[in-house]
Amino acid sequence: MPLPEGPLPSFDELPSFRNFPGCAWDVWGKDDELGTINLLTKDVVKEAAKEIKLGKTICLNWPINYPKKPLFNRQPPNIQMWRKGEGEGIAVHDDAIHINTQSGSQWDGLRHFGLLEHRIFYNNTPADFFETGSLVKDYPDKVDKDFIKYGIHNWAQHGICGRGVLLDLVRYFTASGDPLPYDPWTTHGIPASVLEDCAKKQGVTFKQGDILLIRIGFMQRYLSSTQEERDSLADKEETMAGIDQGDESKRFLWNNHFAAVASDQPAIERWPPPYPHHLHQTLLALWGMPIGEFFDLEALANACAEAGRYTFFFTSWPLNILGGVASPPNAAVSRAMFIAAALLKFRAGLPVRSQGYGSVKCM
């Protein structure tokens, strides 16, 4: 749908739904199924494409094979390959994939999380509206629109493409040689003031429709742990660092008008949240904002630090599952020309200088 005329309302200008402030249903309209993806207009995507200079790409998806023991009691991936026939002259394979769409790298869709105490999903849709069970019914042109309403296919068919911004909290906290002041695997809330200061120190100015990526440190901790430590995550109550659930965090996320938000941890918000203040409720049920979890941001963080540039063109195409709850993101970024400029100066014997986070900037 077209964006409303004039500036979007601030968080404090949004109406409340019962005891929940910041309801954006009226912003997008009663028939909307895109939520904040509406912000990714043709003009926004076209402007974001200017971030592509060098043409190098970085994958943000963890292999779908992992983790072997998912968190939140989700089913582990099952991937099987077999030979098509036996005997001489047979060189053909098939494979089959059976996954929980939220076991690894993922987008949470609008069917995933509602307002728990009210049993209401996006756009005031009661939980009983949704049929559960098999989503395979008929050919796409014959599917009942209500049966697939608010499914992940809406974002898949639109695409989640635009300017991405990385907030690298790991480097923000450790640039001076200090250790990370929290364990990413323990409950710790990251306030909006830290996210804002990180952006300032990285030289980032947000634009409407940005796709926000936050490196909290979960993946770095995971990759440096033993398999026994990794498996233990699935055998205990989930605790992890993430965005604080207070209204200041909501103001930061809404007032900057991000199209989507993602991080390297499995829940994006501090976990467990102080009940009933799940940030998932506001982002998904009140705003329609995609939540990305378990993104692999390690290679991107290194590239951004090397370039001294934390913006890029981001592209993601969720699986086109009619009525789907969630999906692997199929996400990647394209790096800009800044690295090439620095390397050319270096090779020519011209001065370059470091500027925070171990980055390189041309003088």
Are the beta carbons of 311 and 50 closer than 8 angstroms?
A: no
Q: Which of 38-42, 221-225, 336-340 has the highest mean pLDDT?
A: 38-42
Between helices 247-255 and 192-202, what is the axis angle to 10°? 40
Range with the largest mean pLDDT of 47-56, 118-127, 267-276: 118-127
Q: Is residue 357 predicted with pLDDT exceeding 80?
A: no
C-alpha span between 96 and 94 (Å, rounded): 7
In this structure, what are the phi and psi dihedrals at residue 213, rounded to the nearest 5 degrees?
Answer: -115, 130
Confidence band of 1 (pLDDT split at 50, 70, 90): low
Q: In the chain, what are the domain boundaries?
A: 23-64+108-336
What integer is the mean pLDDT of 119-128? Answer: 96
Q: Cα separation of 306 and 321, whole Å?
A: 37
Q: How confident is the model at residue 236 (pLDDT cuts 50, 70, 90)?
A: confident
Hey, which residues does 326 pair with through a beta bridge?
A: 108
CATH of domain 23-64+108-336: 3.50.30.50
Q: Using a pLDDT cut of 90, give the percent of the chain over it.
A: 77
Distance of CA 183 to the CA centre of its chain: 21
Q: Distance of CA 348 to CAs 336, 341, 343, Å?
A: 20, 11, 8
> What's the average model confidence in pLDDT over 36-44?
98
What are the pLDDT digits (tens) for 255-298?
999 999 999 999 999 999 987 789 999 999 999 999 999 999 99
More confident residue, 139 or 229: 229
* pLDDT tens string 8-32: 999 999 999 999 999 999 999 999 9
| Mean pLDDT, all residues of the chain | 89
Residue with the bigger pLDDT between 85 and 301: it is: 301
Residue 76 is classified by DSSP as P
Band the pLDDT of 335: cuts 50, 70, 90: low
Q: Name the token pair of 188.
A: 């710790």
At 194, the pLDDT band (50, 70, 90 cuts) reads very high
pLDDT for residue 202: 97
Q: Is the pLDDT of residue 313 over 80?
A: yes
DSSP string, 217-237: SHHHHHHTS-HHHHHHGGGS-
Pairing relationship of beta strands 260-263 and 291-293 according to DSSP bridges: parallel
Phi–psi pair at 255, nearest 5 degrees: -65, -25
Rounded distance between C-alpha atoms, residue 148 and residue 159, angstroms: 18
Peptide bond into 276 cis (omega under 30): yes
Q: What is the pLDDT of residue 346?
A: 37
- How far is the C-alpha of 250 from the C-alpha of 248, rounded, in Å? 5
ω into 9 cis (within 30 of 0): no
